[in-house]
Structure formats: structure tokens, C-alpha cells
Chains A and B, each alone.
Chain A
Amino acid sequence: QVTLRESGPALVKPTQTLTLTCTFSGFSLSTSGMCVSWIRQPPGKALEWLALIDWDDDKYYSTSLKTRLTISKDTSKNQVVLTMTNMDPVDTATYYCARIRFMLGAMDVWGQGTTVTVSS
């Protein structure tokens, strides 16, 4: 069974750096074709894709946020970490991680999401 779980702080202050961890099981990110992506959703708004890391350690970022984002993986721990610098109240959202299988081109398993509020 494939599962993903997001973890990180529920509250961060403006200008701080957010670090989120996605811990997964049931697959290996060293297997060809496997990817993990981060997506966020502000309250009442649409999904916004943030970043993706693939089995070959290639990394891709949202055009609008790429200067603030870093994605990395620890294959031995089955974890993917996303950092976002210079947090602002507009970054308040639920943050999801999801598995992408390259052959599907789709996010077939999602974590339950973690809510992050940016406030002083």
C-alpha cells in the first residue's frame, strides 16, 4: 500500500523559512519513473503546483516560486523535503505531497495535507 504523509510547522512568521517533509512508504524514489511533487491550496482557492523531484534526482519548480523553493530527497529515509524561503501571509495554505508515476503523468496517491498559516 502506497502512503504519503506531510509534516511540518502549523505556524510560521513572515520572512521565515518553511521546511516541510513528505514521508512515504510502499514505493522507492530510486525506482525508474517515480516522482514526488508538492502542491498547495490556499483556503477556498485552486490547487497550485510547487515542485517535483524524480527518481534521477532531477528537480523542477514552479516558474513563479522557483527563487524561493528547494526540493530534495533522502532515498534511504523515504523522504522528500521542500523548503520555501521568505514566507508571507499569502503563502497560507494546505500543502500536499503526491506521488507521480511518469508513465501515468498523474498524481495517483496524495498525502492528507498539512495546513500552514503565516502570521506574526
Chain B
Amino acid sequence: EIVLTQSPGTLSLSPGERATLSCRASQSVSSSYLAWYQQKPGQAPRLLIYGASSRATGIPDRFSGSGSGTDFTLTISRLEPEDFAVYYCQQYGSSPPVDFGQGTRLEIK
């Protein structure tokens, strides 16, 4: 079973700043199957990035994903007020086929 470790646990930034969120896997993950989600309070998660670097439909281009192997990054180039939320990474394909990271909370500084 692959363990996904996200860091930091909480990130405090101001609107307009750049956010860098990390997801590290205990074993190599196929880049085709690493995804990122955004979750706001009281809402279901929303898919942001799939295949490590492809933006889902309707996702602004300030969101970008990168990485391979065991190290992946979600970058938000310039934070908007609506970007403050919890972010999860997820891998697909190992056995069992799905794992989530524990999440990074992005809060307003």
C-alpha cells in the first residue's frame, strides 16, 4: 500500500502570493495517476489536476502540477481569496488502487 505524505500540514499565505504544496509517496507512483483536489468547508472535493500535471475542466491556469516518481507538487501561482481551502493528493493504480494524502490546509495569513 502506498502512503502519501503531504507537507506542510498548514500553509499560511496572503492573497497574491505563490503557494507550493508537496505530496511525497512511499513508493513510485505512475505520473499518469497522481491527482490533486481542492475541498472547501461543507463541500465535496473538486478535481484540480490529474496525470500529475493536467488541469481538469474549468480549472484556472494559476493552478499547476508537476513531479514524478515519489515527489509531486501543486503550485498556485498567485493566490485568490477563493483558493484558501484544503488540498489533497491522491494516487491510483497500486493495490489497493486508491490512496489519499492527509491534506494541506491553505489559510489566509
Contacts and interface: CB of A to CB of B under 8 A. Distances in A.
Given A106-B47, A113-B44, A47 B100 contact: yes
Interface string B43-62: 01111001100001100000
Contacts of A37: 98
Contact of A96 (B44, B56, B88): B44
A60 B47 contact: no
Interface in B25-57: 30, 32-35, 37, 39, 44-47, 50-51, 56-57
A42 interface: no
Interface in B60-109: 88, 90-93, 95-103
A49 B100 contact: yes
Interface string A62-83: 1100000000000000000000
B33 A108 contact: no
Interface string A22-60: 000000000000000101000000111100100000001
